Amino acid sequence: MTRADDTLPADPSDASGAPRAVMSEPDVARALRRIAHEIVEHNKGADELVLLGIPTRGVELAKRLAALLAEMEGAEVPVGELDITMFRDDLRHQPTRAPMPTRIPSSGVDDRVVVLVDDVLYSGRTIRAALDALSDLGRPRAVRLAVLVDRGHRELPIRADHVGKNLPTSHAERVMVRLAGVDDVPDDSVSIGLGETRAGAPSTPGGEVR
Amino acid sequence: MRHLLSSADLTRDDVRMLLATAAEMHEVQRRDVKKLPTLRGRTVINLFFEDSTRTRSSFEIAGKWMSADTINITGKGSSTSKGESLRDTVRTIDAMAVDCVVMRHMASGAAHQVAQWVDASVVNAGDGTHEHPTQALLDAYTLEHRLGDLEGRRVVLVGDLTHSRVFRSNAITLRTLGADVTLVAPPTLMPSGIRSWAETDGLHLTDDLDAVVATGPDAVMMLRVQRERMSGGFFPTPREYTVGFGLTRERLRALTDANGDAVICHPGPMNRGLEISADAADAAGSLVLDQVSAGVAVRMAVLYHLLAGEEVAA
């Protein structure tokens, strides 16, 4: 993003270096609505479901999915938050940060169908950590994964059950999800840019950051 | 953050981050499975040259709940009783490639000294009459949990200031968080140099507990009278100390009359009937057991921030 045009490496997906919008507000809304339908269809109803968002944006997405399920099925699906900070496998590669809250709905997760919700699925390591965190909290009947964007490059045998958008990317790129209500933006958006920071998604091509 | 040696090393942001982490660790404490994989493969040595119940056990539990291997070494059972010097003892331990040494020692400054000698992270779990930073953090955590933000809150520390490392660390951390701190002690138990410290850091000093209690402070922290560190002469009789500086039944009533929401802390172990009456220790506003419960969470937070992060190039 900060590099000048003439120094950019040949990159088929992006010639300008500026972030390229790939999903707009209505796209995000449509994707979430489809995911909500899929969840209900797959689960044959909304019974026994628990939505657990992975902070920060997964929590917002989980809340939106719960609202859609309420609208579609008239069902009150419990929503919780599952922080994975303490379960990461790359703790030694970045500065420590204060963990975000973990809030499990009072219904618990035992014998429920837990749907983990996150914004971007990349290496799969976050989800691996989430599965570990979840196993300390109870024994769900099944665990499913819903993500807004699947950008590929999995490093673990993990896949999403419900995907808002499959987004082929290169390692050098960064997927930025911005959600109204979490980020300081008026509208939801998903865009791709060239990564230069290590916050969130990894930056170095082929790097082992996460 | 490599070591935790003094409360003065912690900025307001550091304290905020440690307390925020502790809050999440407190949640873990309420779970059925109290175990996080965070410090898997790390070794924490509790090296205690002085007696301790809550500090040592809470560090041990904190380490275990985060999957570190924790080992306790006490002065009595170690080679120091055969005459080994502190330097040789800690260098021996360091040679086993441990990651963290949690140390309590009767000499002020011992933790600072040991930090120069070892590669491991050092946590000061009490050094003589100097500091006890994790106690100050857990007290701040406990107070915030009950009172909310401590900015501008009035906290009174009462008792044996001369021998109290708890008071020293607490005064620093409470000031870091913006609390209004008043120190109450008989003149004989005011440490030398306290006046200039009080002036620099904006601490209030007095020897009139009743007057302070009547103003209805938000929190009163009673310090233990440390008879093991006293060699007589600090006050005429225990009875006289209690009359002047104990949180007696009458003072408890005066405190709750002035501020019904006032809370009472004591770092333990309590001398019931000396600095704190049974009524005060067991009062509704007493946070003594909350302090102990917070101790594990706060120490988990400290171990996490010292041991989990990015490896700092030496």
Nearest residue to B307 via CA among A59, A95, A178: A95
- Say how many residues make up chain B: 314
pLDDT score at A6 = 40
Q: Express each pLDDT in B99-131 by its tens digit.
A: 999 999 999 999 999 999 999 999 999 999 999
A17 confidence band (pLDDT: 50, 70, 90): low
User: Which percentage of chain B shows pLDDT scores above 90?
Assistant: 85
The total number of structural domains that make up chain A: 1
User: Which percentage of chain A shows pLDDT scores above 70?
Assistant: 84
Where in the sequence is the domain holding A113, given as residue range(s)? 21-171
Domain ranges of chain B: 7-131+294-307, 133-292
Q: Express each pLDDT in A76-127 by its tens digit.
A: 999 999 999 999 988 888 888 889 999 999 989 999 999 999 999 999 999 9
A208 confidence band (pLDDT: 50, 70, 90): very low
A121 in a structural domain: yes
User: CB contact, 8 Å: A80 with chain B?
Assistant: no
DSSP SS3 for B254? helix
Distance from CA of B160 to the nearest CA of A (A): 35
Q: How many CA atoms are closer than 13 Å to the CA of A67, on its beta-carbon side?
A: 8
A33 in a structural domain: yes
Residues 133-162 on A with a CB inside 8 Å of B are 136-137
Where do we find the tokens 């005066």?
Answer: B254
User: CB contact, 8 Å: B41 with chain A?
Assistant: no
Distance from CA of B314 to the nearest CA of A (A): 15
User: CB contact, 8 Å: B40 with chain A?
Assistant: no
Cβ of A96 within 8 Å of Cβ of B305? The answer is yes
- More confident position, A185 or B227: A185
Averaged over A145-154, what is the pLDDT? 96
User: CB contact, 8 Å: A12 with chain B?
Assistant: no
- How far CA A72 is from CA of A108, B33, B74, in Å, comes to 23, 36, 63
> What fold is seen in the domain B7-131+294-307?
Rossmann fold (3.40.50)
pLDDT score at A200 = 44
Answer yes or no: is pLDDT of A3 > 90: no
A10 in a structural domain: no
Averaged over A151-172, what is the pLDDT? 95
User: Which percentage of chain A shows pLDDT scores above 90?
Assistant: 74
Mean per-residue pLDDT of chain B: 93
Cβ of B21 within 8 Å of Cβ of A100? The answer is no
Cβ of B24 within 8 Å of Cβ of A100? The answer is yes
Ranges assigned E (strand) in B6-120:
43-48, 69-74, 100-105
A98: nearest CB among B21, B38, B310 = B21
Cβ of A86 within 8 Å of Cβ of B38? The answer is yes
Which CATH code is given to the segment(s) B133-292?
A: 3.40.50.1370
B17: nearest CB among A93, A98, A101 = A98
**In this structure, are residues B266 and B288 in contact, taking their beta carbons and an 8 Å threshold?**
yes
Answer yes or no: is pLDDT of B166 > 50: yes
pLDDT score at B132 = 97
Cβ of A101 within 8 Å of Cβ of B24? The answer is yes
Q: What is the DSSP string of B172-240?
A: HHHHHTT-EEEEE--GGGSPTTHHHHHHHHT-EEES-HHHHHHT--SEEEEPP--GGG--S-SSS-HHH
CATH of residue A79's domain is: 3.40.50.2020
> Looking at chain A, which residue has its C-alpha nearest residue B34?
A136
